[in-house]
Amino acid sequence: MRLAGPLRIVALVVTVGLTWIVVSILLGGPGSGFPRIQQLFTSPESSVTTEPRARKYKCGLPQPCPEEHLAFRMVSGAANVIGPKICLEDKMLMSSVKDNVGRGLNIALVNGVSGELIEARAFDMWAGDVNDLLKFIRPLHEGTLVFVASYDDPATKMNEETRKLFSDLGSKNVKDLAFRDSWVFVGAKGVQNKSPFEQHVKNSKHTNKYEGWPEALEMEGCIPRRTTAS
């Protein structure tokens, strides 16, 4: 009976010690606040560090263009559902939102020196009159930049003169352009060589992304400003 008192004291000391150890573990040690307890109530998603977003430049390009260059990005239409887009120097020249695109060829004429839009029009190459297109591109001035994005069908109404005019603007694929192909192209009046800015995908039931249409094309880059334009 005489040992009951000391045993109670020892038991109390042990209990206090164990309590202190558990509290220290949960609190993460002196001076560390409550990280361990916070971890119990923190979801894994909230503990993931958010990576910084990659910086985007004009028209969404991943890198800035050199001086005296024009930044552009263009997307052909997707099937006959989503219209094309043509962006130049962070300005949307043609898009469904601007309500200035349509089935066929969507063409924006740009001053090659200033980068200013001259005119933008859509030409129906399925049921339209090809002469409207010819009247649009025949009288181009030297140095005029020509941006072209297809939508649905770019070629049914094309004739030999149309193909030659685009070829003279720097296209190497227009000679093979056919029904429902996807095509994006940037050319210029007075160029001596074929344009490096052109993409073309044939309409083929074996490779089409959409039923009856190939994939949409995206193209971006930096175009040197023209030194003169008349």
pLDDT in tens, 4-46: 565 666 566 667 666 666 555 555 544 444 444 344 344 444 4
Is residue 29 assigned to a domain? Answer: no
Give the mean model confidence (pLDDT) for residues 190-217: 93
Contact assessment for residue 106 and residue 87, using Cβ atoms and an 8 Å cutoff: no
**C-alpha separations of 140 from 192, 196, 214 in Å:** 16, 20, 31
Nearest to 102 by CA among 134, 127, 139: 127
CA 165 – CA 138 distance, rounded (Å): 7
What pLDDT score was predicted for residue 175?
Answer: 97
What pLDDT score was predicted for residue 36?
Answer: 43
Entry pTM? 0.76
Give the mean model confidence (pLDDT) for residues 84-110: 98
Over residues 142-197, the pLDDT tens digits come to 999 999 999 999 999 999 999 999 999 999 999 999 999 999 999 999 999 999 99
pLDDT tops 70 at residue 67: yes
pLDDT tops 50 at residue 109: yes
What pLDDT score was predicted for residue 17?
Answer: 65
Tokens for 121? 């029009």
Is residue 196 assigned to a domain? Answer: yes
Is residue 1 assigned to a domain? Answer: no
Across-strand partners of 87? 73, 92
Give the mean model confidence (pLDDT) for residues 49-70: 84
Over residues 215-225, the pLDDT tens digits come to 999 999 999 99
**CA-based R_g, the chain, Å:** 33
Is residue 211 assigned to a domain? Answer: yes
What pLDDT score was predicted for residue 45?
Answer: 45
**Burial degree of 92 (CB within 10 A; 0-12, 13-18, 19+):** middle
Which contiguous run of DSSP H or E holds residue 25?
helix 4-27
The contacts of residue 159 (CB under 8 Å, 6+ apart) are: 130
pLDDT tops 70 at residue 202: yes
pLDDT tops 80 at residue 86: yes
What pLDDT score was predicted for residue 182?
Answer: 97
Is residue 17 assigned to a domain? Answer: no
Nearest to 221 by CA among 106, 116, 119, 88: 88
- Cite the DSSP H helix spans in 28-115: 35-40, 44-47
CA 173 – CA 46 distance, rounded (Å): 51
For residue 153, the SS3 value is: coil
Which contiguous run of DSSP H or E holds residue 95?
none
Contact assessment for residue 107 and residue 123, using Cβ atoms and an 8 Å cutoff: yes
Is residue 139 assigned to a domain? Answer: yes
Confidence of residue 130 (pLDDT cuts 50, 70, 90): very high
Is residue 91 assigned to a domain? Answer: yes
| Average pLDDT of every residue of the chain | 86
Range of the domain at 204: 58-223
What pLDDT score was predicted for residue 20?
Answer: 65
Which contiguous run of DSSP H or E holds residue 24?
helix 4-27
pLDDT tops 80 at residue 116: yes
What pLDDT score was predicted for residue 79?
Answer: 87
Structural domain tally of the chain?
Answer: 1
CA 62 – CA 220 distance, rounded (Å): 10
Place of tokens 């930096």: 222
In terms of average pLDDT, the best of 35-49, 98-112, 206-220 is 98-112
Contact assessment for residue 122 and residue 130, using Cβ atoms and an 8 Å cutoff: no
Is residue 160 assigned to a domain? Answer: yes
For residue 124, the SS3 value is: coil
Confidence of residue 87 (pLDDT cuts 50, 70, 90): very high
